[in-house]
């Protein structure tokens, strides 16, 4: 089903399972139009592996290239068949999600010995909260050596550079069709990747590597002139991804649904302040009936970030301007207790304003928490620092 879109092309990175392999448009393309059918995992690296391996599939047929090409094809068809009608295209790149498998030559752009080391505590995982120690042990991340980490990060950078090239192809196509000056473009992501920071990988935490993502807008001149937006601007205050939909609707003169969270960034684009004074609140996986490895909530404001961990009901406070690697927890430092208490109360208040998920995050207006249980089963179990997939 197209999930609300008029048409859709999808690749689920191995999540569909063998029984639904035929539903995957990218895998079908490889089988039908190339000699690389069955090679999307030919390097033997799974969907959630932390290890690096160059793609066996050439750049022209790599998943990122295919995604950009399919998006260009959709826009070309629309311009040809309905030239006077507006369009919406969601070009969603799977990469740089693991496996970290850039196509050649992007596997050789960055040398592993030159990539920066991840941000880790002075004593490594021993200095982390018990919940994070459990996460590392559960996913066996402590078995990833320095060489493996650096190779993976170098390939991660290569995947990002390849996406940059693919976005450039999309922009060139818009220009070629005369649509670049009539198209609003937003570039963002649902999450990042820890890539070794705090001895962790993947997502599901509110540390910078996982939670901080790009949030870029391109507005044609006539849109800027009509909305009073500046030609070039950078917002230093944090904003949430929940602002994406309200901003696009605002730019298109479409009212935001009353039930939708998030606020438009149009005032900030005009040189004003970020929504809520640059304060962002978010929660992940807070469920009253089940605790999990990443269940937490976060408040980001000014120079500070407060993270509340549901397992253990414990909070962390970081000065992300002075400590971007988040290696000095201020929660137990003299002089920060008032900041910590205020952050916790503000987080509860902000989460209580959200339309959805309120009952899963708060109970009687207070954040849900429970003692940390190191013996609790965090399913699914890990068989290694990876998640092997059947495709």
Q: In terms of C-beta density within 10 A (0-12 exposed, 13-18 middle, 19 or more buried), how is residue 388 classed?
A: middle
DSSP annotation string for 324-359:
TT--S--TTSTT-HHHHHHHHHHHHHHHHT-SSSHH
Which whole number is the average pLDDT over 335-359?
A: 87
Query: Which pLDDT belongs to residue 390?
Result: 33
Residue 154's domain spans which residues? 18-367
Tens digit of each residue's pLDDT (9 = 90 or more) over 66-88: 999 999 999 999 999 999 999 99
Q: What is the mean pLDDT of residues 143-161?
A: 95
| Pair of tokens at residue 350 | 């902000």
Residues in CB range of 88: below 8 A, 6 or more apart: none
Cβ-proximal residues to 310 (8 Å cutoff; 6+ apart), any chain: 285, 286, 291, 295, 296, 297, 367, 368, 369, 370
Q: With 60 as the cut, is the pLDDT of residue 339 above it?
A: yes
- Read off the pLDDT band of 228 (50, 70, 90): confident
pLDDT mean over 277-292? 75
CB within 8 Å of 271: residues ≥ 6 apart: 230, 233
Q: Average the pLDDT over 160-166 and give the result.
A: 99
What pLDDT score was predicted for residue 22?
55
Residue 48 has pLDDT above 90, yes or no: no
How long, in residues, is the chain?
Answer: 391
pLDDT in the model for residue 261:
84
Residue 118, classed as helix, strand or coil, is: coil
Name the percent of the chain lying above pLDDT 70: 89
Q: Does residue 91 have a pLDDT over 70?
A: yes
- Number of Cβ within 10 Å of residue 94's Cβ equals 17
CA distance 391 to 18: 7
Is residue 153 a contact partner of residue 201, using CB atoms and an 8 Å limit? no
Q: Is residue 66 a part of any domain in this protein?
A: yes
Q: Residue 388 domain-assigned? A: no
Mean pLDDT, range 300-315, rounded to an integer:
94
Confidence of residue 31 (pLDDT cuts 50, 70, 90): very high
Q: Return the higher-pLDDT residue of 51 and 90.
A: 90
Residues 197-222 have a mean pLDDT of 94
Q: What count of other Cβ atoms lies within 10 Å of the Cβ of residue 18? A: 10
CATH number (domain holding residue 231): 3.40.720.10
Q: Are 159 and 100 in contact (CB under 8 A)?
A: yes
Q: At what angle do helices 146-176 and 63-81 cross, to 10 degrees?
A: 20
Integer CA distances (angstroms), 192 to 210, 213, 214, in order: 4, 6, 9
Residue 387 predicted with pLDDT over 80:
no
Interaxial angle between packed helices 63-81 and 25-33, expressed in degrees from 0 to 180 and rounded to the nearest 10:
90
Please state the φ and ψ torsions of residue 200, each to the nearest 5 degrees.
Answer: -125, 165
Q: Is the pLDDT of residue 125 over 80?
A: yes
Mean per-residue pLDDT, 199-219: 94
- Please tell me the distance from the alpha carbon of residue 368 to that of residue 361, in angstroms, as a whole number: 6
Calculate mean pLDDT across residues 338-359: 85
CA distances from 118 to 115, 146, 278, 330 (A): 9, 10, 27, 21
Of 324 and 388, more confident = 324
Give the C-alpha separation, 135 to 197, whole Å.
Answer: 13
Would you call 41 helix, strand, or coil by DSSP? coil
Residue 384: inside a domain: no
**What torsion, rounded to 10 degrees, do the Cα atoms 239, 241, 242, 244 define?**
100
The confidence band for 44, taking pLDDT boundaries of 50, 70 and 90, is: confident
Of residues 108 and 228, more confidence is placed in: 108
Averaged pLDDT of the chain: 89
Of 26-35, 258-267, 322-331, 339-348, give the lowest mean pLDDT range.
258-267
The position carrying tokens 């949430």 is 240
* pLDDT reading at 15 higher than 60: no
Summarised one tens digit per residue, pLDDT across range 351-381 is: 888 765 555 678 888 988 878 877 776 665 4
Q: Is residue 138 part of a domain?
A: yes
- The answer to which of 5-14, 28-37, 237-246 has the lowest mean pLDDT is 5-14
Task: List the single range of 102-116, 252-266, 283-297, 375-389 with lowest mean pLDDT.
Answer: 375-389
pLDDT beyond 90 at 382: no
Domains of the chain: total: 1
Q: Is residue 108 part of a domain?
A: yes
What pTM does this model have?
0.91
Among 115, 114, 97, 117, residue whose Cα is nearest residue 159: 97
> Any idea which of 48-52, 208-212, 254-258 has the lowest mean pLDDT?
48-52
Side-chain-side CA neighbours of residue 271 (13 Å): 5
Q: Where are the beta strands (DSSP E) in 95-157?
A: none
Comparing 14-28, 149-163, 301-315, the range with the smallest average pLDDT is: 14-28
Q: What is the pLDDT of residue 36?
A: 94
Q: Does 232 map to a domain?
A: yes
Q: Is residue 9 part of a domain?
A: no
Q: Name the token pair of 196.
A: 């070794």
């Amino acid at each position: 089903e197209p999930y609300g879109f008029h048409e859709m092309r999808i690749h689920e990175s191995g999540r569909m399972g063998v029984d639904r392999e035929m539903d995957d448009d990218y895998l079908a393309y490889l089988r039908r139009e190339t000699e690389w059918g069955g090679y999307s995992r030919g390097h033997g690296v799974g969907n959630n592996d932390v290890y690096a391996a160059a793609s066996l599939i050439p750049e022209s047929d790599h998943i990122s290239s295919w995604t950009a090409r399919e998006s260009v094809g959709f826009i070309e068809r629309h311009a040809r068949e309905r030239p006077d009608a507006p369009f919406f295209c969601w070009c969603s790149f799977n990469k740089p999600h693991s496996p970290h498998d850039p196509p050649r030559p992007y596997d050789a752009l960055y040398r592993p010995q030159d990539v920066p080391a991840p941000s880790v505590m002075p004593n490594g995982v021993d200095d982390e909260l018990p919940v994070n120690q459990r996460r590392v042990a559960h996913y066996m991340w402590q078995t990833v050596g320095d060489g493996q980490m650096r190779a993976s990060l170098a390939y991660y950078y290569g995947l990002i550079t390849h996406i940059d090239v693919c976005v450039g192809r999309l922009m060139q196509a818009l220009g070629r069709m005369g649509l670049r000056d009539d198209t609003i473009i937003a570039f963002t992501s649902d999450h990042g990747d820890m890539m070794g920071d705090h001895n962790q990988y993947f997502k599901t935490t509110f540390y910078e590597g996982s939670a901080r993502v790009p949030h870029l807008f391109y507005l044609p001149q006539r849109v800027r002139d009509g909305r009073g937006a500046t030609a070039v601007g950078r917002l230093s205050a944090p904003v949430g991804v929940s602002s994406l939909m309200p901003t696009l609707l605002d730019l298109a003169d479409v009212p935001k649904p009353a039930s939708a969270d998030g606020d438009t960034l149009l005032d900030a684009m005009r040189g004003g302040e970020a929504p809520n004074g640059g304060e962002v609140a978010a929660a992940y996986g807070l469920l009253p009936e089940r605790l999990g490895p990443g269940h937490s909530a976060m408040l980001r404001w000014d120079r500070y970030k407060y993270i509340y961990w549901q397992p253990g009901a414990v909070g962390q406070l970081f000065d992300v301007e002075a400590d971007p690697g988040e290696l000095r927890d201020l929660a137990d430092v003299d002089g920060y207790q008032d900041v910590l208490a205020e952050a916790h109360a503000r987080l509860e208040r902000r989460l209580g304003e959200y339309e959805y998920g309120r009952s899963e995050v708060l109970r009687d207006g207070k954040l849900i928490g429970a003692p940390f249980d190191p013996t609790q089963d965090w399913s699914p179990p890990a068989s290694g620092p990876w998640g092997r997939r059947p495709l």
